[in-house]
Every structure is written in structure tokens, then in C-alpha cells.
Amino acid sequence: MFASTPPRAGDARPGPILGIDPGLSRCGYGAVERSGATFRATSAGVIRTDPSWPLPERLARLAAEFESLFDDIAPSAVVVERVLFQVNARTAISVGQASGLALAAAARRGLEVVQYSPNEVKLAVTGDGAADKAGVQFMVTKLLRLAVAPDPPDAADALALAICHAWRERTTQAVDAHDRANEPRPGVGLSARIDAALAKQGRR
């Protein structure tokens, strides 16, 4: 788990973004804080359940771990990888079960809940929607300025989910700010706004 650096005085931030790479045997998690264009990992790891346990016990253990994780991290948003069709139906079912528990736990707390597909995350983090796990690990390590790559890969995937949402969030805020700065002034008619726009282009 990464140590969290206390924020500077007057540098209050909302809770970190928590990424969850769902799985029943191994469930990766990673929390990322954003300050402007800089990202910082505050926590990462893997929740494990014993395959020899009965399924209800494994699900109960995972649900309890999610509650504890949310208590410890106090996230502002939870990002869960969207479950897509897999060749191995058994794996798909267990991933879906873990995903459902995470989504429900976040919703009960009234947290923002977001889902991205693996390709969306890979594209956001590496620039290649078909990147392999090694490529994701490398870019997560670079973007978060980590001394070593997150291991196992489930933790890197979870951090990548959080980074993906942080990028989207930052872009949305920038677009909103641009739109607000360019809102037409009250009382200025459409023809006047068109004239002003054309004047800027040197056409009037």
C-alpha cells in the first residue's frame, strides 16, 4: 500500500478516485488523487478470497472488504471495470459477481459510480486500446511517478481505472470552464454575436 502524503495547508482536496478491477479470487484496487495535471497514488493492492471456500463465504468476505476499503479511503468516486463477454463463462460470472458487490457498496454510500471498458482504460492510459498488461503497468508507473511498477497487475489495472476517470474529469472541467468563459452576454442579440464572431475572423 502506498503511503499518503498529507496535503499542504490550504490545499484541501476532495476524496481520491478509487478504481476497482473486479475479481473473486483477486480483486485489484487503487486510489488516485488529482491536483491539476498531476496524479498521485495514495493506495493500491489486491483483495483475495480463498477458492476453497464456499461461494457465499467468498462473496461475504469480499463485500466486507469493500466496506472496509471505502471506510479507509473515503473516495469521492468509485470506478469499476465494465464486465464484457469473455470466452471463459465461469470467469465472467465470478467477475460479474465481484463487480456487482462493488457497485452496490458504492451506491449505498451515495458515491459517484462510473464504469469503463478495458479498451477505454487502455486507450486513456497508454494511447493504445489493445495494450497488454505490461504496457498498462509501465504507463501507470510513469504517470504516477512510482519507484516500482504496481504488482500484481490487478493493482495496476485498478490504478489505470482511476487515472482514466481523473483524465475524463479534468477534461470535462476544462470544457465547462471554457464554455462559461465564452457565454454570450445578456442582452446581446444573435446578429450582434454573429457580427462579433465574423469580426474576429477578419471577415467584417
The pLDDT confidence band at residue 101, using thresholds 50, 70 and 90, is very high
Q: In this structure, which topology does domain 17-200 adopt according to CATH?
A: Nucleotidyltransferase; domain 5 (3.30.420)
Predicted pLDDT at 167: 87
> Exposed e or buried b for every residue in 165-183, given b needs 16+ CB within 10 A?
bbbebeeeeeeeeeeeeee
The pTM score is 0.78
C-alpha cell at 112: 459517484
Tell me the C-alpha to C-alpha distance, in Å, between residue 19 and each of 80, 106, 172.
6, 12, 19
Q: How much of the chain exceeds pLDDT 70, in percent?
A: 75
Question: What radius of gyration do the chain's Cα atoms show?
Answer: 21
Helix axes 55-73 and 89-108, enclosed angle (nearest 10): 40
Active site (catalytic) residues: 21, 81, 154
What is the band of 189 on the pLDDT scale with cuts at 50, 70, 90?
A: low
- Best-predicted range by mean pLDDT among 144-148, 183-187, 199-203? 144-148
pLDDT digits (tens, 9 = 90+) for 57-81: 999 999 999 999 999 999 999 999 9
